[in-house]
Amino acid sequence: MTDSITLDSTDTHGHSDHDDHAHPTEKQYWIVFVILAVITAVEIAWSYMGLEGPALVVPLIIMMVVKFLMIAGVFMHLSFDSKMPNGRTFYLCFGAAMVLAILVFLVVLAAFEFQI
């Protein structure tokens, strides 16, 4: 929320937000899709390696986060929209909720896991 205070600009006439500024091209979308597909393939392969514990989980989580960021950033235009004036408001709304959800529920799971 603090972010948006510095970003605040009611005096500037806002523009409609997505007609002029750059969105990815068709080619870029395909590239992202191929990367996503490759990561998914690696994930599946990794899960068949017979690893256990952190060796299994940590790389999978990392790949999951990368996929998440690519979809949110490119397909949902977050990384493009956020370059607009005040575009960071999107981060505020969505990012705050993401962070909140992750933190809160990690604490809950930790409380159950360790019972301390």
Residues of the shown chain interacting with other proteins in the complex, contacts defined by CB under 8 A: 1-2, 4-5, 8-19, 23-24, 26, 29-30, 33, 36-37, 40, 43-44, 46-48, 56-57, 60-61, 63-64, 67-68, 71-72, 75-76, 84-87, 89-90, 93-94, 96-98, 100-105, 108-109, 111-116
Q: Would you give the end-to-end CA distance of the chain in angstroms?
A: 33
SS3 98: helix
Nearest approach, Cβ of 62 to other proteins (angstroms)?
10
Round to whole Å and give the CA distance between 109 and 87.
33
